[in-house]
Structure 1
Amino acid sequence: MARSWDAVATKLVVERGDALSRYAYLLTGSVDDAADLVQDALVRTFGTPRFGLTLPRAEAYVRRAILNAVIDRSRRDGTWRKVRHLTLAPTSVEPADAASDERLDLLERIRGLAPRQAACIVLRYYDDLTVDQVAQSLGISSGAVKRYLSDGLRALSSAIDPAGERSTRTGGDHVSR
């Protein structure tokens, strides 16, 4: 006879495993890292028996464990973030069709954000949480979430339109493109 928490773990992997992997992939940008994160989160959640755990609650535990692992990893890699700009190769001229591909590659742009900005963007727009729910999930204030969202969206926007190409007429009237 299977223990109830064991049955919940099995059902979670079978029914929601793909969704958890997609969630981790959005946060990491790597299929392999995402699979490792999901596995680690499942071990953390179900490594010790947890009684009275329902499927939705178990999924919430696992998602939180994934998010915590991503944030913890980014803290450990903080030193690298401070110096990685020194190792970037100079950019080359890309063909016009590559510019279109670049605009469509939102995942890479999200990965380029600060970890808290990326977490807020993913939780708000992928998980479809409210600002207050994102704040509660990350353990920060709603104002901080709004700031991370604002800064993250601005960074994503400027990455899509780096020159801020907005045509204007004299007098400040905007011309639509």
Structure 2
Amino acid sequence: MRAADEQRYTEYVSARLPALHRLAYLLCGDPHRADDIVQAAIVKLYRHWRRASQATDLDAYVRTIVVRSFLDEQRLRWASVRLFGHPQDGPVIPAAPPDTETGIVVHTALTRLPPRQRAALVLRFLCDLSTESTAAAMHCSTGNVKRLTSDGLRRLRGLLAPVAERCADGTR
């Protein structure tokens, strides 16, 4: 890579790194896995910088790389996971102020969704992308994005319904 291209690449990645990490974290729910996903994405971006830098919307191009890196990692992850001992029933979450607690509950529910549903919801509602932009990032049709979004919202409502009932009763 030429020095000028390398400089532009470095500036772009430095400026966008927090947003890329936030997107990866929202997709996978684990800060360490998010680091791995972002690292894989910026390596892919480096390899294809000449083509990527000519894209009409570089942020959308990079967002697509992050989403595809997450989905690829999800597909390959099952083969490398080894459980030793007895897994816990779930993470122990300490009491927190209501807004933080709500965020934790929603985040935990998001991590229980299938990867493609989670990606559709994160891109549509947390990254505020249109159906068309989400479809482009996920390399699927807009109809598929609508189905994934609908199924994901239905499942998310089901996961959050017991929590909402407890909150309404005042018994967190």
The TM-score, its normalising length taken from structure 1, stands at 0.71
Q: Which of the pair has more CA radius of gyration?
A: 1
Separation in 1, partners of 2:34, 2:63 = 12
Q: Alpha-carbon deviations, 1:65-102, whole Å to 9, x = none?
A: 21111111222245799xx9xx87668xx9xx69x776
Moved more, 7-16 or 146-155: 7-16
More helix by share: 2
Amino acid at match of 1:149: T
Separation in 1, partners of 2:24, 2:71 = 12
* Aligned pairs (5 A) from 1:163-174: none
Which residue of structure 2 aligns with residue 37 of structure 1? 37
Unaligned runs of 5+ in 2: 166-172
Shift of 1:134: 1.3
Which residue of structure 1 aligns with residue 63 of structure 2? 63
Which residue of structure 1 aligns with residue 144 of structure 2? 144
Cα distance, 1:51–1:163 mapped onto 2, change above 3 Å:
closer
Which residue of structure 2 aligns with residue 134 of structure 1? 134
Identity %: 32
1:155 aligns with 2:158: no
Cα distance, 1:79–1:153 mapped onto 2, change above 3 Å:
farther
The TM-score, its normalising length taken from structure 2, stands at 0.73
Separation in 2, partners of 1:40, 1:52 = 15
Cα distance, 1:38–1:56 mapped onto 2, change above 3 Å:
farther
Report 1 or 2 for greater relative contact order, CA contacts < 8 Å, sequence distance ≥ 6.
2
* Aligned pairs (5 A) from 1:54-93: 57-77=57-77
Q: Alpha-carbon deviations, 1:107-166, whole Å to 9, x = none?
A: 12111101110010011012211112212221222222111111111111111113985x
C-alpha RMSD of the superposition: 3.3
Unaligned runs of 5+ in 1: 166-177
